[in-house]
Amino acid sequence: MLRSCLATFASMTLLLTGCAAGEPASDKITLTVAWWGNPDRTKATNAAIDLFRKKHPDIEVKVRPSAFPGYYDKLNTEFASGAAPDVFQDDQVRTYAAKGLLLDLGAYKDILKTDTLGEEFLAQGTVDGKLMDVPAGTSPMALVYQPKLLEGAGMAAPTAETSWQEFAAQATKLAGTLPEGTWALADSSAQHNHLQVFLRQKGKDWFSPDGTALGFTKEDLAEWWTFWADLRTKGVVPPADVTTGSAGGDVSQDPVAARKVAMSVYGTSVSLPREDWRYGPLPGEAAQPGVHLMRSVSWAVNAKSEHPREAVQLVDFLLNDPEAGKALSLSRGVPPNSAIASSLMPGLDPQDKQIAEYVDYLRKPGNGGKAPAPDPAGGKEIRSDLLTRHTQDVWFGKASIEQAAAAFVQEAGKVLGRAS
């Protein structure tokens, strides 16, 4: 009888304590965060999340960094199986919002503070009036150049008042002073963000405001390609076989990273060689700015997160906590929080300080354009895949500029029709 009572007591004790062979029960909330990026970005993000853990010991954060290739394939599979992360890095806001996969961050104003971000950043994550993600950094387009090469040719750097025609003439003159294997200018004809600046200077954009159609014509695209084709013929920009390595986004193959050009249109969150480069405004910006404070990537929250408030709390921390801002620094471009961006300035090295100063220049009225609406579903396919393929058809003589432009517009229309 005594043995039976003791056994019963032991069983009740195990049920009440939840221990025995397993680990002790935990009251911690667990969040999972996913992002892509290079090792420097991962190191910085881990440091910021460590700070969050220390300030919120009741919340455990599991991290899932990765390289960009395959990131979205894995994320889509996780969403389909119900295993998607609570917080994830995103640059396809409208695509995921259309599927109902994103939490409306605007419903958490008591947690997520956006007053220091600026409307131009919030607009890029707003879909149908709802704030569906928030930019984690900014990477506006700029002109980068090597001052020594320009000075050697007796030339000053282009300015916002320089027209594209004057820019082409300047690059042509510069080309004659450079050593063999070096070109005056990188070829931007396949770069969708560079094309966007050109379109916005004309009062147009990649897509219509409602995202149901292209925002430009085949003639606009032909004009863009013709500009670069003329420079390619003159040897001002590299031949196609030199440029093609970076056309699909391989930064390591970019002529700028390889120091094969004296000037280029370039994104400010993309690593440059750390010496001899300067940032400045693009040609044609004075009349109607085409450059805007473009997000690099954003933070989004899974609509089905079991802990939405804590997930939003983590996003707010990454955006607005001064210590987190210092840890993250420019790992995703200049922070969209203007106060944090200013606080970082004294500690930046000369190269990064240039980037921060350029972003600060764009924040001032009249120096940057209004942010566009988020790209529609299918936008990434059109911008990257279609533009690269049809541009390369022009490069390698598979189609004339007019044929390629007409084919691009037709295919883009089909993609948008399929996505709507």
Q: Are residues 185 and 320 in the same domain?
A: no
For residue 100, the enclosing domain spans 29-136+296-360
Domain assignment of residue 81, yes or no: yes
As given in the structure block, the two tokens for residue 255 are 């002529």
Domain assignment of residue 12, yes or no: no
Domain assignment of residue 5, yes or no: no
User: Among 328, 360, 392, where does a domain finish?
Assistant: 360
Q: Report the alpha-carbon distance of residue 173 to residue 257 in Å, rounded.
A: 23
pLDDT per position as a tens digit, 89-124: 999 999 999 999 999 999 999 999 999 888 888 999
As given in the structure block, the two tokens for residue 289 are 């700015």
Q: Confirm if 143 and 158 have CB atoms less than 8 A apart.
A: yes
Per-residue pLDDT for 8 more than 60? no
Q: Are residues 253 and 120 in the same domain?
A: no
Question: Residue 391 corresponds to which amino acid?
Answer: T
The Cα-based distances of 416 to 86, 203, 218, 380, 392 in angstroms read: 29, 21, 16, 11, 22
Nearest one of 344, 372, 373 to 359, comparing CA atoms: 344
Q: Are residues 38 and 109 in the same domain?
A: yes
Q: Are residues 87 and 172 in the same domain?
A: no
Q: Are residues 246 and 329 in the same domain?
A: no
Q: Report the alpha-carbon distance of residue 7 to residue 1 in Å, rounded.
A: 10
As given in the structure block, the two tokens for residue 150 are 């320009």
Sign of CA dihedral 295, 297, 303, 309: negative
Q: Are residues 114 and 128 in the same domain?
A: yes
Per-residue pLDDT for 88 more than 70? yes
What is the DSSP track for 332-377?
Answer: TBB-S-HHHHHHHGGGS-HHHHHHHHHHHHHHSTTSSPPPPPPPPT
Domain assignment of residue 24, yes or no: no
Classify residue 200 as exposed, middle or buried by CB count within 10 Å of its CB (0-12, 13-18, 19+): buried
Q: Are residues 235 and 254 in the same domain?
A: yes
Q: Report the alpha-carbon distance of residue 372 to residue 244 in Å, rounded.
A: 28
Percent of the chain that is helix, strand, coil (3-state, to 5): 45, 15, 40
For tokens 């409208």, the residue is 94
Q: What is the band of 268 on the pLDDT scale with cuts at 50, 70, 90? A: confident
Q: Report the alpha-carbon distance of residue 19 to residue 382 in Å, rounded.
A: 55
Q: Are residues 197 and 269 in the same domain?
A: yes
Q: What is the band of 351 on the pLDDT scale with cuts at 50, 70, 90? A: confident
Domain assignment of residue 275, yes or no: yes
What pTM does this model have? Answer: 0.85
Q: What is the mean pLDDT of residues 329-353?
A: 93
Q: Are residues 324 and 389 in the same domain?
A: no
Q: What is the pLDDT of residue 26?
A: 57
Q: What is the band of 250 on the pLDDT scale with cuts at 50, 70, 90? A: low
Q: What is the pLDDT of residue 20?
A: 36
Per-residue pLDDT for 274 more than 80? no
Strands 278-280, 141-145: parallel, antiparallel or unpaired by DSSP? antiparallel
User: How many structural domains comprise the chain?
Assistant: 2
Per-residue pLDDT for 23 more than 70? no
Q: Report the alpha-carbon distance of residue 114 to residue 336 in Å, rounded.
A: 10
Domain assignment of residue 328, yes or no: yes
Q: What is the mean pLDDT of residues 151-172?
A: 95
pLDDT per position as a tens digit, 369-416: 999 989 998 998 999 899 999 999 999 999 999 999 999 999 999 999
User: Among 334, 360, 386, where does a domain finish?
Assistant: 360
CATH of the domain at 44: 3.40.190.10
Q: Are residues 92 and 118 in the same domain?
A: yes
Q: Are residues 386 and 239 in the same domain?
A: yes
Q: What is the pLDDT of residue 173?
A: 96
Q: What is the mean pLDDT of residues 147-170?
A: 95
As given in the structure block, the two tokens for residue 353 are 């300080």
Q: What is the mean pLDDT of residues 22-39?
A: 80
Q: What is the pLDDT of residue 6?
A: 38
Per-residue pLDDT for 271 more than 70? no
Domain assignment of residue 367, yes or no: no
Domain assignment of residue 15, yes or no: no
Q: Are residues 281 and 410 in the same domain?
A: yes
Question: Residue 378 corresponds to which amino acid?
Answer: G
